[in-house]
Amino acid sequence: MTGFDASLLYLETAQQPLDVGAVLFIDVSDLEVAYSFDRLRTELGRRIKELPELRRKIYDSPLNLGHPAWVEEYDLDVSAHVRRVDVEEPGDERAVFEMCGTLGSRPLDRTRPLWEMWILEGLAEPDTVAVYFRAHHAVLDGVNGADILLRLSNAGRPDPPRGLDMVRVEAGSANPLRLLAGGLWDFTVRRPLTLARLIPEVLTLPLALHTPPSTATPDEPAPDDDSPADGNEHLVVVPRAAPFTAPRTRFNATITPHRAVWGTSLDLDEIAEVKDAFGVTVNDVYLTAVGGGLRRYLRAHDDLPDPPLIAVVPVSTRDADGARGHNRVTVLFASLGTDIADPLDRLRAISARTSRGKKQTRNGMRPDLIQDVAELAPATTLHMLMRIYGDFHLADLHPVVHNLVVSNIPGPAEELDFLGGRVTRMYPLGPLIHGSGLSITAMSVDGQLDVGINACEHLVPDPDLVASAIREAMDRLLALTREQATRR
């Protein structure tokens, strides 16, 4: 187990479960055999044999000086991981999301592989079931989770041969001598070498990543709506995003384990229309819609701060040389331009800043820097400190590190099904940590960008309003893009 994956286990507390997941809506009308839960669970159990990530469980020893290991659960009981539940009347999306929030508030059993799947039946939508899947973040990151769902979508195709040797190599083996020897090597050799490399790098990193934020221009308007301001298209400046420069909002406090989830969908053709009109990226348009949605949401609650919200944006490092572990990410800090009323100005500013932020991250921080820092994580100390941090609500006292996590996971290029049933919507759900009780994650599926909202129920009890505000912000951005095109 890498230090990064292990750190996600150490950082978890009763208040802060570190899970990721997704809510899928499945059209079962075209299945070759009529849908039944038993058939689905049987097929899923057969497919899991090809997925080492879902067969791994934690193995450790009190004498181990290093991080725990992953071992394969050879006698995996699928019925302990895949269960069925009926949603409450009237069986609409609200009922589905509320049920998923309730199910996501329960801790995962660490004596088993760290994942579960709930099949939600009784939906009002004909020939449709919902699937709520979640796993511990130590097992999956966003890209790896999307890959697993893609591998589950080949049910009707020829079965790939199962490589038993490869499964065991990937998962490891329950060998106490091997664990202790590996822990001794890690403690006496690998960690000192990693520390020696990190010290000069970490000391110089703040010079590259943290500078005082610039101030907004005096001419910047602050109207009460999202109307564009004439003549100031190129005057708005987004402050440079950096940790501990984020303003405090209603969802920046100590979290509880109770979850509230929701989802909405944005049309990829509409996003592409905006992207092509301004020469920006899909992610720039997405961040602009999220920033506009949060601006609307916070204004509705009379909680919109003057400085812009700062999001942590995960960046996959799976293509980096020597990348190991289940989680292979670095992060950049991005301003969401929530202080900019005009959506077009917001788009231009976000595009300019995220472009510079990516160059800054590439130039100032190695892709595996976070991984190396995590290798030094002391299990007992880190867990104890996180418990104290949560119990004493310390996240409420110090400056806000970042407001939320915003992620955009590359979706499958091909049509996605789930064990033979067509996936009509799939809302990914990111993790929450103390001080950041809101996560917004998107994935492209079947011509649309599905956006999942995961929130602490006590801080954001109305994630449906966040979702609808993002949708409205995208509609406004598209309308202004078309208006500008007609004036040319």
In this predicted structure, the answer to whether residue 9 has a pLDDT above a threshold of 70 is yes
Provide the 10 A C-beta neighbour count for residue 262: 27
In this predicted structure, the answer to whether residue 156 has a pLDDT above a threshold of 60 is no
Residues 6 or more apart in contact with residue 22 via CB below 8 angstroms: 131, 132, 133, 134, 145, 149, 426, 427, 428, 429, 443, 452
Residues 6 or more apart in contact with residue 429 via CB below 8 angstroms: 19, 20, 21, 22, 23, 104, 134, 261, 439, 441, 452, 453, 454
**The pLDDT value given to residue 275:** 97
Render pLDDT for 186-240 as a digit per residue (tens, 0 to 9): 767 666 666 666 566 666 656 655 544 444 443 444 444 454 443 334 444 545 6
pLDDT, mean of residues 454-463: 98
* Whole-angstrom distance, CA of residue 423 vs CA of residue 487: 40
The pLDDT confidence band at residue 89, using thresholds 50, 70 and 90, is very high
- Superfamily of 243-487 according to CATH: Nonribosomal peptide synthetase, condensation domain (3.30.559.30)
The pLDDT confidence band at residue 148, using thresholds 50, 70 and 90, is confident
Q: Is residue 278 left, alpha or beta, with left meaning phi > 0 and alpha meaning psi from -120 to 50?
A: alpha
**The pLDDT value given to residue 222:** 42
Q: Following DSSP, what letter does each residue of 418-429 receive, concatenated?
A: ETTEEEEEEEEE
In this predicted structure, the answer to whether residue 353 has a pLDDT above a threshold of 50 is yes
- Write out the E strands in 357-485: 404-409, 417-418, 421-429, 438-445, 448-456
**The pLDDT value given to residue 174:** 61
Domains 3-157 and 243-487 share a fold: yes
Token digits of residue 190? 């690998």
pLDDT, mean of residues 289-308: 97
In this predicted structure, the answer to whether residue 442 has a pLDDT above a threshold of 80 is yes
Active site residues: 137
Strand order in the sheet with 19-27: 82-86, 115-121, 128-136, 19-27, 421-429, 417-418
Amino acid at 105: S
- 3-157 folds as Chloramphenicol Acetyltransferase (3.30.559)
Arithmetic mean of pLDDT over the chain: 83
Q: Which residue has the higher pLDDT, 360 or 147?
A: 147
Token digits of residue 253? 């406090």
**The pLDDT value given to residue 183:** 65
pLDDT, mean of residues 470-485: 96
Find out whether the peptide bond into 176 is cis, omega within 30 degrees of 0.
no
The pLDDT confidence band at residue 304, using thresholds 50, 70 and 90, is very high
- Write out the E strands in 123-227: 128-136
pLDDT, mean of residues 83-90: 96
Q: Which residue has the higher pLDDT, 1 or 157?
A: 1
**The pLDDT value given to residue 214:** 45
Lowest-pLDDT range of 178-192, 226-240, 333-347, 413-427: 226-240
Place of tokens 């067969």: 55
**The pLDDT value given to residue 357:** 53
Token digits of residue 237? 């400046």
**The pLDDT value given to residue 145:** 81
In this predicted structure, the answer to whether residue 260 has a pLDDT above a threshold of 60 is yes
Give the predicted TM-score (pTM) of the model.
0.86
Render pLDDT for 92-118 as a digit per residue (tens, 0 to 9): 999 999 999 999 999 999 999 999 999
pLDDT, mean of residues 331-335: 88
Q: Is residue 418 left, alpha or beta, with left meaning phi > 0 and alpha meaning psi from -120 to 50?
A: beta
Residues 6 or more apart in contact with residue 313 via CB below 8 angstroms: 287, 331, 332, 333, 334, 354, 405, 406, 407, 408
Token digits of residue 269? 């053709």
* Whole-angstrom distance, CA of residue 453 vs CA of residue 69: 32
Q: Which residue has the higher pLDDT, 85 or 218?
A: 85
Amino acid at 377: A
Considering 165-179, 347-361, 474-488, the range whose residues carry the highest mean pLDDT is 474-488
Domain boundaries of the chain, sorted by first residue: 3-157, 243-487
Q: Which residue has the higher pLDDT, 229 or 315?
A: 315
**The pLDDT value given to residue 200:** 67
Q: Which residue has the higher pLDDT, 170 or 484?
A: 484
